[in-house]
């Protein structure tokens, strides 16, 4: 059975995560949430890595079109995520 005793200083984090400590005890340790800066950095790293595949010894353009499509999709998703998180921050203020 999960223990529902939680450090009083973490009540705000629990309220923000909307997770019941009885269901998931790790919320009491502060393990819930996101790391948006890490997500953004990893996303942009892999986007650059995908575009780096354009430099290579392939001869056809089909590969280039797929790489461009995947890379542009990643850019679109990262920019949209950034805009959405900024709008969410403005709504909280």
The tens digit of pLDDT for each residue in 57-86 reads 878 889 999 999 999 999 999 999 888 887
Q: Compute the distance between CA of residue 68 and CA of residue 50 in angstroms, rounded to an integer.
A: 8
Residue 60 CB neighbour total at 10 angstroms: 7
- What tens digit of pLDDT does each residue of 8-52 get? 556 666 666 666 767 776 666 666 566 778 889 999 999 999 999
Phi, psi of 11 (to 5 degrees): -60, -35
Q: Report how far residue 9's alpha carbon sits from residue 11's, in angstroms, rounded to the nearest whole number.
A: 6
What is the 8-class DSSP label of residue 59? Answer: -
Angstrom CA distances, 5 to 12, 19, 32, 34, 36, stand at 14, 14, 17, 23, 29
> What residue spans define the domains of the chain?
1-33, 36-92
């Amino acid at each position: 059975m999960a223990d529902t005793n939680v450090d009083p200083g973490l009540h705000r984090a629990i309220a923000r995560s909307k997770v019941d400590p009885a269901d998931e005890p790790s919320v009491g340790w502060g393990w819930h949430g996101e790391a948006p800066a890490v997500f953004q950095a990893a996303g942009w790293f892999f986007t650059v890595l995908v575009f780096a595949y354009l430099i290579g010894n392939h001869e056809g353009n089909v590969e280039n079109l797929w790489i461009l499509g995947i890379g542009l999709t990643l850019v679109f998703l990262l920019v949209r995520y950034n805009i959405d998180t900024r709008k969410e921050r403005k709504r909280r203020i």
